[in-house]
Amino acid sequence: MSLTLFAHPFSSFCWKVQIALDADGTPYAYRNVDPSEPGNMDELKRLWPLGKFPLMVDDGEVFAETSCIIEHLQAHHPGPNRWIPDGAEGRRVRFLDRFFDLHVQGNMQPSVNHAIWPDGEGLAAARGIAALRTAYDWLETNLPDGEWAVGDTFTLADCAAAPALFYADWVEPIGGDRPRLAAYRARLLAHPAVQQSVERARPYRHYFPLGAPDRD
């Protein structure tokens, strides 16, 4: 098998790559970097000294960073999904990919960090929540009428959105006053490839430092 993914089942950024692989039905070896699987994290650090995951190895060549990994998959291991379309649609996909990574996940993360490493009065966490609400409101207004982030085609933007919105809703609920965004999150969680990541992560929910809610 040429593809090996070093990942953790509970990691949102690992989900992003897993969703693309699983949606395409691309075969790959999964190397779980959880401490319960000794040796995998050491091997990842040998390949990528920064020690960040996910990390993809394709016949000995190492690929880091989620969007770059998925772009490599589209170019060299294409499946039924076209993750980054051409032209204006592709540019919108790339924009929303960054939006979900930076403005949803990025603004959620300070609350998680504060729960693990309390930092004074939690000002960074509070600012993150305020910015996350702004991101929610922007999405509520700007999501299209189609099924997915850029219309009717499941793309890289949706691979980024699924884990971002899954965990962000645990930190700051989307709520009933954002029905378009809530419905989009529900559609993402119903996607078979997303469900695979949800189920793979379920045994690790005790890792969530804010207390994982008893819901998806």
pLDDT tens profile 110-158 = 999 999 998 777 899 999 999 999 999 999 999 999 999 999 999 999 9
CA distance 56 to 28: 10
Residue 186 clears pLDDT 70, i.e. is over it = yes
Total number of domains constituting the chain: 1
Domain for residue 15, yes or no?
no
Residue with tokens 């890792």: 207
- Domain limits for position 163: 87-192
CA distance 24 to 8: 20
Domain for residue 16, yes or no?
no
Domain for residue 80, yes or no?
no
Q: Is 188 exposed, middle or buried (0-12, 13-18, 19+ CB in 10 A)?
A: buried
Domain for residue 93, yes or no?
yes
CA distance 212 to 216: 9
Instruction: Find all residues with CB under 8 Å of 118, minimum gap 6, and list them.
Output: none
Domain for residue 128, yes or no?
yes
The predicted structure's pLDDT at residue 155: 98
How large a percentage of the chain has pLDDT more than 90? Answer: 95
Domain for residue 46, yes or no?
no
- Single out the residue of 148, 161, 162 nearest to residue 197, CA to CA: 162
Length of the chain in terms of residues written:
216
What pTM does this model have?
0.96
Omega within 30 of 0 (cis) for the link into 54: yes
- CATH number of the domain bearing residue 145: 1.20.1050.10
Per-residue model confidence as pLDDT tens digits over 21-66: 999 999 999 999 999 999 999 999 999 999 999 999 999 999 999 9
CA distance 101 to 197: 17
Domain for residue 117, yes or no?
yes
Q: Which two tokens stand for residue 159?
A: 């691979």
Domain for residue 170, yes or no?
yes
